[in-house]
Amino acid sequence: MARPRKPLLSRTRIVEAAGALVDAEGLEAVSTRRLAAALGVSGPSLYNHFRTKDKILEAVADAVSARVDLSMFEAPAYAAEGVRDWRGALHAWAHSYRDALSDHPNIVPVLARGPGRRPAGLRLADAVFGAMTAAGWPPAQATRIGALMRYFILGSAVASFARGFVDDEAAYDPADYPHLGQAHLLAERQREVDQGAFETGLTALLDGLALQYEAARREPV
């Protein structure tokens, strides 16, 4: 009886295995040896698909970027009744982006370097910039909006504010921290606190941009 064939090695399998390692153990866990063992292949065979570990991590990062919904920037949804709803589009996109990163927070440092040559990352940047300029933002300001949204979203995904406090009332002595009497409860309310903080910050950011947008439209051409 013929032995069952091993699945062929592919870029997709390598990226999936590397992504699982990053999710479970962080960026430092990814190595040729660990990946080869996980995939049941020899280490050198990985180099037929990726020249370096950094290239693998770049591909993992781009796979996460590819999960971000960009449909809100497309013409039918974005230009309902001829009105460019740039604010609504940014709001929906920010939540989709944060959701993708929340599932894979360990890859955020790679994403924070910028899109470089990554196709999905470049499509993301292109969609945001294109939508803002189509809505009437000057190109320079559209670039800044794309940057500040990335700063805000990536920063929110790096760590949990709520989980930064321990679940121990004794750790926050009122004599030392008179305003942290309820801080020990934050950890168990992590999802509520962090999502609420993100929405509060996003609303404030978009409110500020809306004021700038209206002021810019009132300026003489």
Q: Give the predicted TM-score (pTM) of the model.
A: 0.87
Tens of pLDDT along the chain (221 residues)?
445 455 678 999 999 999 999 999 999 999 989 999 999 988 788 988 999 999 999 999 999 999 999 999 986 655 554 457 899 999 999 999 999 999 899 999 999 999 999 999 999 999 999 999 999 899 999 999 999 999 999 999 988 899 899 999 999 999 999 999 999 999 889 989 999 999 999 999 999 999 999 888 777 65
User: What pLDDT sits at residue 132?
Assistant: 94
- DSSP states along 75-137: HHHHTGGG---HHHHHHHHHHHHHHHHHT-GGGHHHHTT--TT-HHHHHHHHHHHHHHHHTT-
Contact call for residues 162 and 190 (beta carbons, < 8 A)? yes
Q: Among 68, 67, 65, 72, which Cα is nearest to 113's?
A: 65
Which of these, 128, 142, 105, 122, lies nearest to 26 by C-alpha position? Answer: 105
